[in-house]
Amino acid sequence: MALSLATVAVACGSTEPTPPPKTSSPTPTAAVVSTGMPTSTTELTPAPTGTATASLPTPPTSPTAAQGVALDAKTAAALQATLQSLRDRGNFPGISAAVVFPDGAMWTGQAGVGVLSTKAELTPDTLFSVGSITKTFTGALALRLAERGTISLDDRLSKWVPTYPNAANITLRELLNHTSGIRDFFETATFKYIDADHNATWTPEQVLARIGKPYFAPGKGYHYSSTNYVLLGLVLERATGKQLAELVRTEFLDPLGLSHTFLQSEEPITGTLAHGYLGPPTSPKDVSVGQAMLPYVSVATASGASGALVSTPSDIAKWATALYGGELLDPASMAAMLDVSTSAPYHPEIQYGLAVERLPVGGRLGWGHRGHLDGFWSTMVYLPASHLTFVVLVSADWPDPLKTVGAMVTAVLGPA
């Protein structure tokens, strides 16, 4: 049985902590909208011939590469102290984390509260919006269905969504790796309507109705776009005749025992919700008050397959460990997922494979994904060289997610 050391701490310092600079993306040049992931730097000119493209590290075949890295009382104390320090310095309402060690032991910890107005206790089971981490579930499902022959990653979008503009020239693979050129709905006039009424429910068809002019021709650039995954959700539902929530639950959630994870756009939520907060840190605004979904109904339903999941750090940590540890997909699918050679020539700040980001954290490179919707930041990362998984969920709009999780990495492994 995996060891679990969970601690809860509430920070109520008498002096006001100094918040970090308010940058919702680690990329200074990224275009950031009020919800959704930051758009990575987009360069439409490929690298010159001969320029090396980055490759992901090859994971060790066994946890012996992480010999000596284990969960003990000293490590647990260091992790909790780091989490508390992050909360204090960032003035986050609430922060919750989990770390899975090479032997399967899991540490969980929390600092702060779930709801500022009520001082609601933050527990290991408190649900957070995980935003674009949802894409890793949608992407893994697409790869699994491709393994079975239900779909092909080289299918044209027109096979499944024939009414979408230029669908005959866009492949599912281009949706998965954000090279389709399709505009991010967070960067269109559509989002103004989504944000205008937080209680409104949106369908994928409504979201897709006003996407507008593409960034570039399919396959001719890279631009992170949540619209790609809204379309993928439709493809997977039409290919199987089942709702995405049912597919994700049957294929992944139930087999892995992820009982605190819900695709809130399609299924009811069971559990206690943290509220999301917009800055400034000194007077945060609660965007989830009175809402049945996180961060609020309109953006949750509009995000759907691209960002509607709510979960806990422990569930997401189990997910990342199983996915990147090779338990869920065959070797060919794993190789395709982790291949960043398609995005690398366009020099994105964060290189992207198929529903995976190549994340620099704590001086190391990992595989994972960040998530951002109004009032929430989330990061999950698996370090293949050490077989460690880190997940940090924050109910605040202002942290730098890579620095936040990087501090947890350093607490376990020390400086790089």
How much helix, strand and coil, in percent to the nearest 5, is found in the chain? Answer: 35, 20, 50
| The dihedral formed by the CA atoms of 323, 329, 333 and 336, expressed in degrees to the nearest 10 | 0
- Within the chain, how many helices (H) and strands (E) appear? 12, 13
Residue 381 main-chain phi, psi, to 5 deg? -150, 140
| Beta bridge pairs of residue 8 | 110
Token pair 């032997």 in the structure block, residue:
103
pLDDT in tens, the chain (416 residues): 333 343 333 222 222 223 333 333 333 222 222 334 543 333 333 333 232 333 333 443 344 445 569 999 999 999 999 999 999 999 999 999 999 999 999 999 999 999 999 999 999 999 999 999 999 999 999 999 999 999 999 999 999 999 999 999 999 999 999 999 999 999 999 999 999 999 999 999 999 998 999 999 999 999 999 999 999 999 999 999 999 999 999 999 999 999 999 999 999 999 999 999 999 999 999 999 999 999 999 999 999 999 999 999 999 999 999 999 999 999 999 999 999 999 999 999 999 999 999 999 999 999 999 999 999 999 999 999 999 999 999 999 999 999 999 999 999 999 99
CB count in 10 Å sphere of residue 45:
10
Distance CA 261, CA 269 (A): 8
State the amino acid at position 319 in one-letter form.
W
Distance CA 405, CA 360 (A): 10
CB count in 10 Å sphere of residue 118:
9
| Listed residue (312, 378, 396, 329) closest to 133, CA to CA | 378
Distance CA 316, CA 306 (A): 16
| Beta bridge pairs of residue 109 | 7, 97
Half-sphere exposure of 389 (CA within 13 A, CB side): 26
The angle formed by the CA atoms of residues 37, 123 and 317, to the nearest 5 degrees, is 50
In this prediction, residue 18 carries a pLDDT of 30
In this prediction, residue 317 carries a pLDDT of 98
b (16+ CB within 10 A) / e for 336-366? bbbbbebbbbbbbbbbbbbbbbbbbbbebbb
Residue 101 main-chain phi, psi, to 5 deg? -95, 165
Distance CA 6, CA 68 (A): 21
**DSSP output for 185-217:** GGGSHHHHHHHH-TT----HHHHHTT--S-SSS
| Structural domains of the chain, ranges and CATH numbers in brackets | 73-84+93-413 (3.40.710.10)
Distance CA 293, CA 205 (A): 20
